[in-house]
Structure 1
Amino acid sequence: MKKSTSILIAIALMFSLSFVSCNAIKNANSTQKGAGVGVAGGALIGGLIGGNITGALIGAAVGGAAGGLIGNSMDKQADKIEEALPGAEVKRVGEGIQVVFDENSGVTFATNKAELTTKAKENLDAIADVFLEFPDTNLLVEGHTDSTGSEDYNMTLSEKRAQSVVSYLQNKGVTSNRFEVTAYGETRPRFDNTTEEGRSKNRRVEIGVSANKDMIEDAKAQAN
């Protein structure tokens, strides 16, 4: 009886600590996030989240004074992205930025399609200008689909959607070495796939913005 009680207490403590840690990160301001999340802690939290953009950005955090400087730069870039794409969801995560294109920001896709619409191109034009203004960043591009069709088909389709965005941004001058593409197919829905509205929102591309090697080295030099 004592042994089982101890196990239950341990599990409860684990969930409590996870809840506190997540809320501490969520409630911190952007600069505090940059300075406060170290590499070891970021990797742990990133692993718990499960390897998506949020986890990748937290896991890539430098931390310390250098992280604070990176966070300041990301604050400015996030503001520019919000101005350029008022309909997109722009979140500061760790020392990076997560951008979710949905039906409001105009970068979505018809069922079974990976081609960019005229509206999508207009919005990508706007965000391309921001990426060109802040060249010392890496761009993680994720493609997603709704649950219509087979898993294998959707995985391929999600990659095509991500590649459509990457190709368009490259044509606008964003260099190819900044991109990393990940396809998730239907495995990571944000909305209910049993409704047409939910499926429409799940046909999306997300972008994570993180510091590249040059920005990290420059921030460390300034911090020292």
Structure 2
Amino acid sequence: MVKKITNLALAAVILSSILLNSCQAVKNSSNEQRGVAIGAAGGAVLGAVLGNNIGKGGNGAVGAVLGGVVGGVAGGIIGNKMDKQAREIDNALPGADVVRVGEGIKLVLGENAVRFDFNKSTLTSQAKANLDKLVKVFTEYPDTNIVIYGYTDNKGAADYNLKLSQDRANSVKAYLAKKGLAASRFTTTGMGMADPIESNDTDAGRSKNRRVEFAITANDKMVQDAQNGK
């Protein structure tokens, strides 16, 4: 089931109202300029404060999604497209954790979807099979940018884990590109042992923390189409 953050628009309006009303220059700004300010300020702040509303972990993905908020009618059009894409991802890969956030999608590929062995960044055969299912959806929705975040458990030095997490994200990107998706759509970031989704005190918990997350947002073409009512 696709999860969806509720009351996000209300929170953005309240937050943006506070921020905008504090600036005299806003009185002379256009609606478009105000929308840009709302998207930038609301996304940055809400990305930090709403993490607890979508479960543990994923602050990187959440921040990336909320940072790209367009707002207004265009934002609604983008949101509808993301609703459809999220449902297709959920149907294609039931083992994934799919969350609709704002105008984008946070996708967590844990051990049931893309599992990494301890101290490894290579993709298992199961991981490749599950990524193949994602390729079909990403091919159908080409007008998105995707940030891939790699994670580790807490075993080992922080610097080592940061590199390992980057290698994991790069492995996923390389595989998706090999399957025909444009590499330019993807950005990779290693998060190391940050944002654990389970306790690192057990083997089972550490296994779940060795994961990748995706932040899926509209690219420039999708934004432009939405602003033109498409």
For the criterion TM > 0.5, the same-fold answer is yes
Amino acid at match of 1:132: T
Q: Percent identity?
A: 49
State the alpha-carbon separation in 1 of the partners of residues 199 and 228 from structure 2.
47
- The alpha-carbon deviation at position 56 of structure 1 amounts to 1.5
Match of 2:218 among 203, 211, 224: 211
Partner residue, 1:142: 149
The higher-RCO structure (CA 8 Å, 6+ apart) is 2
- The alpha-carbon deviation at position 46 of structure 1 amounts to 2.3
State the alpha-carbon separation in 2 of the partners of residues 219 and 163 from structure 1.
31
Partner residue, 1:13: none
State the alpha-carbon separation in 2 of the partners of residues 104 and 182 from structure 1.
21
Flag structure 1 segments of 5+ consecutive residues without an equivalent.
1-24
State the alpha-carbon separation in 1 of the partners of residues 43 and 187 from structure 2.
20
State the alpha-carbon separation in 1 of the partners of residues 5 and 134 from structure 2.
25
Count of paired positions: 195
Local SS of the residue matching 2:5: helix
- The alpha-carbon deviation at position 27 of structure 1 amounts to 2.2
Amino acid at match of 1:146: D
Show structure 1 runs of 4+ deviating over 3 A: 35-38, 47-51
Partner residue, 1:186: 193
TM-score (norm 2): 0.79
Matched, 1:201 2:208: yes
Amino acid at match of 2:193: E
TM-score (norm 1): 0.82
State the alpha-carbon separation in 1 of the partners of residues 160 and 45 from structure 2.
32
Matched, 1:41 2:20: no
Matched, 1:75 2:54: no
Indicate the RMSD between aligned Cα atoms, in angstroms: 2.1
Amino acid at match of 1:115: T
Partner residue, 1:66: 74
Match of 1:115 among 108, 111, 122: 122
Partner residue, 2:64: 56
- The alpha-carbon deviation at position 134 of structure 1 amounts to 0.2
State the alpha-carbon separation in 1 of the partners of residues 82 and 134 from structure 2.
14
Amino acid at match of 1:140: V
State the alpha-carbon separation in 2 of the partners of residues 187 and 217 from structure 1.
35
- The alpha-carbon deviation at position 44 of structure 1 amounts to 2.3
**Equivalent residues in 2 for 1:153-172 (5 A)?**
153-172=160-179
Local SS of the residue matching 2:117: coil
Asked if the contact 2:153–2:206 (Cα under 8 Å) also holds between the matched residues in 1, the reply is yes
Flag structure 2 segments of 5+ consecutive residues without an equivalent.
17-37, 52-58
Asked if the contact 2:75–2:103 (Cα under 8 Å) also holds between the matched residues in 1, the reply is yes
Partner residue, 2:131: 124
